[in-house]
Amino acid sequence: MERFKVGIIGAGHIARKMAHTLRDMEGVEPYAVASRNLENAEGFAREWGVTRAYGSYEELADDPEVQLIYIATPHSHHFEQAQMCLGKGKPVLCEKAFTANAEQAEALIRLSKEKQVFLTEAIWTRYMPFSRTLRELVDGGTIGRVMMLTANIGYPIAEKERIAKPELCGGALLDIGVYPINFARMLFGSEITGITSACVKGETGVDLQGSITFVYRNHRMAVLQMTAFCANDRQGVISGDKGYIIVDNINNPQQAIVYSINHEEVARYTCPPQITGFEYQVQASIDAIREGKIETPYMPHMETLHIMQMLDDLRSEWGVRFPMDK
C-alpha cells in the first residue's frame, strides 16, 4: 500500500516530534519539510529522514505529492499559512492554539467549507484513545455522580520568545491553557453557564499565570489552573459521590487511578503504548481525508471555534491584546 505523504511547515521542537511520529507510523511518509531557511529545512530532512526540503512554505504547498500539511509554527502564523494551504487545496492539520483569535478561526473554517478541503486543530489529547477511556469512566458511573473537576498545567517557560512576545500571540493561555480547557470540555461538555477567571500578566502584557472556573448547567464545576512561571503536577482530578479519579498528566495522560471515598485505590488504567501520542491526530486526519470529510469527530470545527471565542473573551477580560486583534 502506498504511503500517505505528509508535509511539515516549520522546523522547530514540535515539528521534530511530528517527524519522529511520521517516521515510525505504518503507511505514512514524512515526505516534506519547509522552513524560511532552506539550510535549516535540509538539516531537518537529513536528521529525520524526510524526503524533500523546501526554503519556503508555498513551495511545499505547491508540491502535488503532499497529501496533508501539518502546521508547526507559532500561533501568530497559523492563520496565514493555513489559509495559503487551503487555498491551494491542501488538507491542513494545524497546531494549537488554532489561530490568534476567533475571527481568524471562523475565516479558516469558512474557507475549508467553500473549498471542501480538510481542516482540523492538532490538540493531540482530543484524538487519544485514553481520552475515550476517561470519558467512559466518568459517564459509566465508576465514581458515582460526578460533580467536580480540577486540572493543572505548568512549565517554567515565561522567558521563551513564543510565550513572552505579543506579536507571536504569546502567553500561558494559548500555549498551555488550552489543555485544561479541552480536558474539562471533553469530560464535562460545553453547557457552561458561567465563567470566572483571573490572571497575572508579564512585562510585555501577555498572561503568564491564570485560573479559570467553569460552572455547568447541571451544577458541575471545573477549576483550571495554568502557569508559565513554574512546573506543577499537571494532574487532573475528577470527583464523584462514590470516589475520584486522578489523571497523572492532562497534557498526555498515561495513567488514571480510581479511588474510593475512603481514599483506597480501586482500579488503575494505563495508556496503550505510543510512538509520541501525535500518531492519533495524524491517523484521524488521514482517515477523514480518505473518506472525503473536511473535519473529524474528535475535534469538530464548531468546537474549535467555540474554544477560540472563549479564549478571546478571557483575553478581553484580562486586557491581553495581540497586534492582530481588532
Grid coordinates representing 163 are: 510565550
d(CA 308, CA 36): 27
Grid coordinates representing 161 are: 520568545
The total of other beta-carbon atoms located within 10 Å of residue 194's CB is 10
Q: Which of 209, 159, 223 is nearest to 320 (CA)?
A: 209
The total of other beta-carbon atoms located within 10 Å of residue 264's CB is 9
Paired residues of 240 in beta bridges: 146, 243
Cα torsion at 186, 251, 154, 48 (round to 10°)? Answer: -140
The total of other beta-carbon atoms located within 10 Å of residue 203's CB is 8
Contact call for residues 308 and 105 (beta carbons, < 8 A): yes
Angle at 60 between CA 54 and CA 66, to 5 degrees: 130
d(CA 74, CA 83): 15
Q: Give backbone dihedrals phi and psi of 36, rounded to 5 degrees, phi first.
A: -70, -15
- Which residues form the catalytic set? 96
Q: Say which residues have a Cβ less than 8 Å from residue 17's Cβ, sequence separation at least 6.
A: 276, 278
Coil/strand/helix, residue 220: coil
d(CA 105, CA 101): 7
Q: Which of 129, 99, 146 is nearest to 245 (CA)?
A: 146
Contact call for residues 229 and 207 (beta carbons, < 8 A): no
